[in-house]
């Protein structure tokens, strides 16, 4: 399955109020690995960027003035996402804006809507199902799953897509920690994953000393097992399996 992790930045919050896409960032994931292929572009929205949006992403109207318009980059963008499953955080927002941009291009009616060409997985909905009642912003998920987002001072479409790819892989990769703590650093309860840093030991470290049981200790152990088996009416299951394995091995020799 080919996945494309996607994020956009816009001039404001509502496409129906005339706001436009100003940045698209996409990264490709195949076989649970980032392939290194990506699509990234800044877009001239042909309108002013709202002050509230500017405070979030830091992309000014002046910076976008010499950038291509959406119609000039749409073909390359469409080829990159076509046929993929799109992974998006709060997908309704991004898909709504992309559909709005497609609809503006009267000379490309074949574009239709995103869902005509792609499937969509919303990581915000996934996170809400897995962590009900908790914060599920991208920053909160990074903290919960141990994903490094230290370079994310402002929102940026390509950086956010790369971070979301790591978050998605962590969310869908099974157990992420052996920690049994009841609270994590975010103050969240023990029902969610508890993430502990993985520490790699040096390969040239001193080997752990192995202390083997003495003959006397082995005899005491065997006597204890016999007493347990007598009390329980039979040997433990692991002893039965061990004996069965020995029986099979003896028949093969």
Contact 221, 213 (CB under 8 A): yes
Of these residues, 57, 89, 131, 155, which one is catalytic? 155
Q: 47-74 in b/e burial notation, b at 16+ Cβ within 10 A?
A: eebbeebbeebebeeeebeebeebeebb
160: Cβ–Cβ under 8 A, 6 or more apart, which residues? 7, 25, 89, 138, 152
Beta bridge partners of 119: 85
Residue 127 token pair: 């996170």
Sheet of strand 33-42: strand arrangement = 33-42, 21-30, 2-10, 85-88, 119-122
18, 90, 156 from 97: Cα distances, Å: 10, 12, 16
**155 given a catalytic annotation:** yes
β-partners of residue 6 are 26
Q: Around Cβ 142, how many Cβ atoms within 10 Å?
A: 19
Annotated catalytic sites, by residue?
Answer: 155
């Amino acid at each position: 399955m080919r996945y494309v992790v996607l994020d956009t930045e816009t001039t404001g919050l509502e496409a129906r109020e005339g706001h436009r896409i100003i940045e698209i960032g996409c990264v490709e994931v195949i076989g649970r690995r980032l392939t290194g292929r990506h699509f990234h572009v800044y877009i001239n929205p042909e309108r002013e960027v709202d002050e509230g949006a500017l405070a979030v992403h830091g992309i000014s109207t002046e910076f976008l003035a010499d950038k291509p318009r959406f119609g000039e980059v749409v073909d390359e963008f469409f080829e990159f996402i076509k046929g993929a499953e799109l992974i998006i955080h709060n997908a309704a927002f991004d898909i709504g804006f992309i559909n709005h941009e497609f609809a503006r291009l009267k000379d490309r009616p074949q574009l239709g809507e995103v869902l005509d060409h792609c499937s969509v997985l919303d990581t915000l909905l996934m996170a809400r199902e897995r962590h009900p009642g908790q914060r599920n912003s991208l920053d909160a998920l990074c903290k919960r799953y141990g994903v490094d987002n230290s370079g994310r001072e402002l929102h940026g479409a390509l950086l956010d897509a790369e971070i979301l790819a790591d978050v998605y892989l962590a969310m869908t990769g099974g157990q992420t920690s052996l920690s049994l703590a009841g609270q994590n650093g975010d103050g969240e309860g023990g029902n969610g994953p508890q993430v502990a840093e993985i520490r790699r030991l040096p390969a040239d470290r001193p080997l752990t000393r192995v202390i083997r049981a003495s003959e006397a200790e082995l005899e005491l152990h065997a006597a204890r097992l016999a007493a347990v088996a007598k009390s329980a009416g039979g040997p433990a299951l692991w002893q039965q399996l061990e004996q069965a394995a020995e029986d099979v091995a003896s028949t093969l020799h």
